[in-house]
Chain A
């Protein structure tokens, strides 16, 4: 009778060992992924914070219903896009132009006392996207607008 270990036994043993390694592999993978994610957090946060400041600049200086700009930062480019979603008349003091029906939409948006709602997207490195709403209170002159940023959340693409 032959002595020794059958091939099937060896294979089974190897298979069991491999299966035991799977949780370990998953753990290491998870840790690596977490570390990478933590590493990118400061860059992402500052990019988004910068993007929200750009949002205010774009909205206050908007010459069109939709505008977009790309700015290079050390940690990567951000693309900021704002588009007018809704515009309401305001009961605040008006400027001396005709803000009635005859006003051009852009003039009305820019110069007439109003509340404008903008859809905002800040895209960082094409991977990270921040979306939300900006509310613009158009006051007495263009550079006295107030822009409030609301409901921003990140979505991963």
Chain B
């Protein structure tokens, strides 16, 4: 958007209501009996920055383990931020204590995923939906609360409200329960609503109904949404802007039409390609699926976190020691048993004996010369591009050492109007990132 576009819009539009700035949420994980003394840390949200503008729907899309739910909960103060800022009005939500946060919470609504567990089964609908009114002292008496709840239920499509007020959640269908959850989130007249997978647990024939309701309510009540989902497809229809999260980091974000029509990060492309289309004429298309699955957040890949799976990864993406062993194992799923046994024997007979470091791998091979020439010949044909980053192969008495060249973690850059963190658009180095080798140019 250009400056002229912005000035032509009415007041309020484009006004940033929530500014997330270098936000980190880390969790300590207890050390296991077998692990070394160092406490493990999961970087669930790791240096995430974006903003949400007034009246928009910002979609946060990611697979399980991407940190999307933690990010939403951090914004609502349900999880403590480790560092960074969440600016909302005159407050920095990331710095507030629980006591300071409490009076602000009525302005920030939350719609949870599973309507079955989001409502207290022991409270009638009028009690459950009206509960936030009591907590925030927003209803003078029971009569007043009942009127407000009835009004909100009808807005949420539960009409006549009298039929629903005094029943229990278990008397309602999944779709009706989710409408109650929405009514409860909106009863305090919040400005920003965080909706975490609001339709994921509903049957497909009623999903659209609930999304439509959320959309209508946004227009009627002037809401702003942070819509968290694993479902890239519903994001396209609903969101003004979207951000794609991978292992705790935003890899691409911007105007949703632009991102969907011309994704610039290979992960976004992969997600879009993988979605099964209800159109048999398009089956059999080349999906270029990434390898494997989202890796362990306790030990994320160095460099670009997506590189071990990326169908477009190349030399600078952060190839490291463990990637070479993974590529060998991947190769062994494609060869016969004899070849596998011969090659396993060649690299030392037992992968547990291979010394794996970030910049170096050492194979305890009995015939170092043979392994060196084998690697020279077959390395470039391994199932990943890992060998492109190898700078040195050294044979010695104890085996073969393989050394890797630099692979910086990519910084965020602007590409075609949106933000992307990927070396395909020019090699960059992220400040404070995790790199293979020395990242300085």
Whether A and B are associated in the same complex: the answer reads no
A contacts, CB < 8 Å to B: none
